[in-house]
Amino acid sequence: MTITGAGLAAALAGISVQAARTAPRNGLALLNELIEAHTAEYARNDELWERAGELDTEPNCKVVVGRFYKGRDDDGENIYEPMYAYFNERIEEHYKRDLAVCLSLVGNDTTKAGEIRDCIAAKVASKNAELAALEAEREAREIASGFRDAYAAAEASSEAVSAIETQIAAFVPASMAEAIRLAQWSVEAHRKDRVFKDDWCAVVLANIGKAVLS
């Protein structure tokens, strides 16, 4: 979003007129406290996510659900590579296709069709159990390494940053000093990409507009 100096100056001028008609309050101190809290928590958030990233060394869990043909090698031997599934949904999708192919081969033979369904269901259950076991082992290693705690701390910090931004976004200036402080910091934070909210400047200018019109 582009903010012109003339547009911001006009908005601030309107604030000064309105502020003269309103009772004084300690809003500037509150705004400064919120800004300082946001700056500190944002910096802490960067550090926490960096730490979590350093501890995030575990590969994604996967199970083999089949193989695909790649061609032949120089000796004429067939080359196959494994097909992996990383999620339960992917396991079910793979074997659902296998089921459709197998059922198409038995026609109206309900006995064989039932046997095929049971066989495929058993394979799905087995692969789901295998994936669950791998994920449990991974979770245990992540807990032991400290990654889970580091990730939880980073998530909590992100929520704290968002909560502070929500409070600042709800701040409606009631004085020229408050409007200037809010506008200067918000534009600078937006320019340096130091806020989570993409529409930050638009929200701030809207609040300045509310103050002008109130």
Residue-level pLDDT at 25: 54
CA dist., res. 164 & res. 209, Å (int): 21
- Structure tokens of 38? 């946001």
What value does the mean pLDDT take over residues 124-151?
A: 96
Does residue 18 form part of some domain? yes
The answer to the question of residue 168 being in a domain is yes
Number of structural domains in the chain: 1
Name the region of 55 (left: φ>0; alpha: ψ -120 to 50; beta: rest). alpha
In a domain, 72, yes or no: no
Lowest mean pLDDT among 50-54, 156-160, 206-210: 206-210
Model confidence pLDDT, tens digit, residues 180-194: 888 888 878 777 777
Residue 137 lies in a domain: no
Q: Are 131 and 91 in contact (CB under 8 A)?
A: yes
The whole domain housing 174 covers 5-56+162-213
pLDDT exceeds 50 at position 138: yes
Decide if 87 is inside a domain.
no
22 has pLDDT over 80:
no
This prediction's pTM: 0.68
Task: Classify residue 109: in a domain, yes or no.
Answer: no
Q: What was the pLDDT predicted at 212?
A: 56
User: Is 35 within a domain?
Assistant: yes
